[in-house]
Structure 1
Amino acid sequence: MTDWIGDTFTSDAGWDHLESLVDIDHRMAGSDGERAGLELTRDALSDAGARDARIEEFEIQGWERGDSEIRRDEEVVASGQNACIALPRSPSGEATGEFVDLGYGVPEDFDDDLTGKVVMVSSDTPDSVDRFIHRREKYYHAVEAGAAAFVFANHVEGTLPPTGSVGTADAPIGDIPAVGVSKETGASLARRREGEDLTVAVNCETPDATSGNAVADLGPDTDEYLVVSCHVDAHDLAEGAMDNGAGTATIVEVANALAAREEELDTRVRFVGFGAEEVGLVGSSQFAAGVDPDHVKAVVNVDSNVFGRTLKLDHHGFDPLEAAGERVSDRFDHPIALGEEQVPHSDHWPFVERGIPGYMVSGETEGRGRGWGHTGADTLDKLESRNLREQAILLTALVVDLAGDDVSTARKPTDEIASALEQEGKATGMKITGDWPF
């Protein structure tokens, strides 16, 4: 039966949900906007036919943006939405020191004594390094090297300062003031201000806050279940259309498609729209800590898709997940990119680090970095409804495949996960950011 394919390809459910999400003022973790997004997602899953739709609340460290700037004495050299913004969970305060441009900010760039200095690094990673170096790793290298403040410069043109959180699970507010600056501002600072004393000033509030996870079920009431997930929160600078309105809209569309095929499911499907992903995978970590790993057959986590036509399934070396992706790609004669490396970011990771089979589902990109993600340019106009519908079709087929009684998955020993991270060069960064659980 293929009627569901036509129904999904002509459905407006996912795209309408995406429009509703981006029309919220913002969905920063712990904000009223995030709560509104969670409620919309809960209701959309219920309207699709999922049962017991609810929001499971949890407390988080809140963070509310104020003004930020970079000064030379009393002269402001960078400020405003298109030049300089605070990184979420930066502490409030000011720090002054000699300004040093460290270029890419690869680990060896921090070997010199940086005590008391204001350091700037690029959001890019050079091709000579065989792994992506995350913002938080660069931040904590700067902290360990004694830096007084951290400046994160976008490598993408267009006066777009990048956002992205700092802090760790144990210490949610970072150690030193941190700001993001546009590529153009960073280039000007590097050319004109190297060696000068600059002040980085961040004004923010850090109240206690409440987030939550939107949860609902489809399919038979089996003890074993699949988790189909996304994160609902987004940074407060933009619409959060790609990251991750797109992923949230996609699982809503998948829920509608699966509701029409519910009798084909041999395994329960639990949809989860996680809160507080952008500030440290808080919602998914809370959720994963409460599951029995033996009851989770697999995790299909959708984050930052739709902007391109080709889905990417990072399967973390779980052979049954790789095989399922290949089957779906072959069945629909549609390209699906498969990756086997560990991806220790997004909401699949709290499951995968426990050995639970999991995908990171995203859109295939050229080069490294987020492009216009994590900037004010993450807006709806860059996405196409056709891509959302096509990807929802592929993911619906993938979930039905994985839910079959004839498909078995198995957990991996956590030492295998740790070994893979070591071999891929990712362990060092995870240890410095406090994300190493092994």
Structure 2
Amino acid sequence: MTDWIGETFTSDFGWDHLESLVDIGDRMAGSPGEREAMELTRDALAEAGARDARIDTFDIQGWVRGDSTVYAGDTTQDCIALPRSPADTAAGELVDLGYGLPEDFAEDLSGKVVMVSSTVPDHYERFIHRREKYYHAVEAGAEAFVFANHVEGCLPPTGSVGTEASPVGDVPAVGVSKEVGARLARRCESEEVTVEVDCETPDAESGNVHAELGPDTEEEVLVTSHLDAHDIAEGAWDNGSGTAMVVELARILAEREDELDTRIRFVAFGAEEVGLVGSAHESERLGDDRANVRAVVNNDAVVFGRTLTFHTHGFDELGDAVDDVAEAFDHPVTTVPELVPHSDHWPFTRWGVPGYMVSASGEGRGRGWGHTFADTLDKLEVRNLREQAILLAELVVTLADADTDVPHKDEAEIIEALEAEDLAAGMKITGDWPY
């Protein structure tokens, strides 16, 4: 039967939910807006036909933005604080470390304010995450951290610092636009600058939204997203799009429920942007029952581009399943076998659970308009959501099929892959190494 395909091509269900999420405004982890997003998503999953739609709450370290400034000479330069920066003022000689590759932090940076780019050179073998650059700077003794966007348009980037053990970072951290970064490098290299961050760090509450479809089997397939977003923008792409996809998939799979051999559990995680807190909470709650998770289909920043990218984390069978669906629909996809330890599949996949990181293909490295003021609804297209929902619905049905077998990996295999891909050292410096 293909009626569900035609219905998906005319469905506004997921897109309407996306509009509801972006219209909330601030969905920062622990904020009233994030709570509203939880409730809207719970209700949308129930309306889609999923059962037992509910919210599981947990405590988090809150963070509320105040004003921030970079003082350079007799000027003030626009910036925004990086979430979970401490409230502090620090001064020192400005040092522009360019891309901020690990080897760039070899010198003693005591008494320095360090500025690095949000990207890496095209020839570099891996992407260096913002938090890795921050903690290299901290370890080298830096007084403050300035994160300069590589994307033009006067857009300072955001993104959290802090670790699981110490959720608030060690030194003040701000994001500046590419243009401000270039100005600072030209005018103030080796001159004293001051970084001032004002914020509050209250106790707060976040939560995960759950709902289910299919038979009540011990095994399950998790279809996930995160519903929080950075407070500076609508969070349309990152990650209203992923949560809209989850509720659209629930609507489709409710119509196809008799085709499901395995329970599907939909989970929209809270507090992803401040350290994968919601998905870590759920992974820890499951404990040994992670062995019953057949696969995680994690949707993070879909819809913006028309072609989906699937990171398969070395699980060949996940790549085969995607290729079979793409061939059946004669639709292009991109599969990447490498590991991505930076989204909500990871608290499961790091213990050997097969997991996809599903995103939309974009140009260049990094997030583009993500994590900036420009992450807005007008850049997304309903056509892309509908097309991608068709492919993902078929993929989930395939993963739930009794004949589909995707073996889990041993912890040692994941560790070996992290070391082979040069990810281990960075995860250790950011406090993300769990082994």
Q: Same fold (TM over 0.5)?
A: yes
Partner of 2:143: 148
Partner of 2:77: 78
Q: Deviations over 1:238-263 (max 9, x none)?
A: 00000000000011111000000000
Paired with 1:294 and 1:174, the residues of 2 have a C-alpha distance of 34
Q: In the TM superposition, what is the alpha-carbon distance from 1:128 to its structure 2 partner?
A: 2.6
Paired with 2:293 and 2:266, the residues of 1 have a C-alpha distance of 12
Aligned counterparts, 1:30-429, within 5 A: 30-72=30-72, 75-79=74-78, 84-291=79-286, 292-429=289-426
SS at structure 2 position matched to 1:411: coil
Q: In the TM superposition, what is the alpha-carbon distance from 1:26 to its structure 2 partner?
A: 1.1
Q: In the TM superposition, what is the alpha-carbon distance from 1:367 to its structure 2 partner?
A: 2.1
SS at structure 1 position matched to 2:253: helix
The unaligned stretches of length 5 or more in structure 1 are: none
Paired with 2:69 and 2:10, the residues of 1 have a C-alpha distance of 47
Partner of 1:26: 26
Q: Deviations over 1:104-140 (max 9, x none)?
A: 0001111111111000000011123100000000000
Contact between 1:154 and 1:180, CA under 8 Å: does it hold in 2? yes
Q: Deviations over 1:155-210 (max 9, x none)?
A: 00000000000000000000000000000000000000011111100000000000
Paired with 2:275 and 2:85, the residues of 1 have a C-alpha distance of 13
Q: Which moved more, 1:133-142 or 1:314-323?
A: 314-323
Paired with 1:157 and 1:356, the residues of 2 have a C-alpha distance of 38
Paired with 2:123 and 2:102, the residues of 1 have a C-alpha distance of 13
The one-letter code sitting in structure 1 at the alignment partner of 2:245 is T
Q: TM-score scaled by structure 2?
A: 0.99
SS at structure 2 position matched to 1:71: strand
Contact between 1:313 and 1:338, CA under 8 Å: does it hold in 2? yes
Q: Which moved more, 1:155-164 or 1:315-324?
A: 315-324
Contact between 1:35 and 1:211, CA under 8 Å: does it hold in 2? yes
SS at structure 2 position matched to 1:249: helix
The one-letter code sitting in structure 1 at the alignment partner of 2:93 is E
Partner of 1:432: 429
Q: Deviations over 1:29-80 (max 9, x none)?
A: 000000001111110000000000000000000000000001136x34213x
The one-letter code sitting in structure 1 at the alignment partner of 2:207 is G
The one-letter code sitting in structure 2 at the alignment partner of 1:28 is M
Cα 1:67–1:76 change in 2 (3 A) is farther
Paired with 2:19 and 2:381, the residues of 1 have a C-alpha distance of 12
Q: Deviations over 1:297-321 (max 9, x none)?
A: 1100000010111001111111221
Contact between 1:69 and 1:76, CA under 8 Å: does it hold in 2? no
The one-letter code sitting in structure 1 at the alignment partner of 2:25 is D
Paired with 2:387 and 2:304, the residues of 1 have a C-alpha distance of 12
Paired with 1:253 and 1:327, the residues of 2 have a C-alpha distance of 22
The one-letter code sitting in structure 2 at the alignment partner of 1:58 is F
Paired with 2:124 and 2:101, the residues of 1 have a C-alpha distance of 8
Q: In the TM superposition, what is the alpha-carbon distance from 1:322 to its structure 2 partner?
A: 1.0
The one-letter code sitting in structure 2 at the alignment partner of 1:177 is P
Q: Which moved more, 1:60-69 or 1:103-112?
A: 103-112
The one-letter code sitting in structure 1 at the alignment partner of 2:429 is I
Q: TM-score scaled by structure 1?
A: 0.98
SS at structure 2 position matched to 1:195: coil
Paired with 2:290 and 2:304, the residues of 1 have a C-alpha distance of 33
Paired with 2:218 and 2:275, the residues of 1 have a C-alpha distance of 29
Q: In the TM superposition, what is the alpha-carbon distance from 1:342 to its structure 2 partner?
A: 0.5
Question: Percent identity at matched positions?
Answer: 68
SS at structure 2 position matched to 1:290: helix
Contact between 1:160 and 1:183, CA under 8 Å: does it hold in 2? yes
Partner of 2:3: 3
SS at structure 2 position matched to 1:321: helix
SS at structure 2 position matched to 1:99: strand
The unaligned stretches of length 5 or more in structure 2 are: none
Paired with 1:115 and 1:289, the residues of 2 have a C-alpha distance of 38
SS at structure 1 position matched to 2:193: strand
Paired with 1:270 and 1:195, the residues of 2 have a C-alpha distance of 54
The one-letter code sitting in structure 2 at the alignment partner of 1:155 is H
SS at structure 2 position matched to 1:171: coil
Deviation above 6 Å: which 4+ runs of structure 1? Answer: none
SS at structure 1 position matched to 2:233: coil
Paired with 1:344 and 1:51, the residues of 2 have a C-alpha distance of 31
Q: Deviations over 1:399-423 (max 9, x none)?
A: 0000000101211001111111111
Q: Deviations over 1:193-246 (max 9, x none)?
A: 011111100000000000000000001110100000000000000000000000
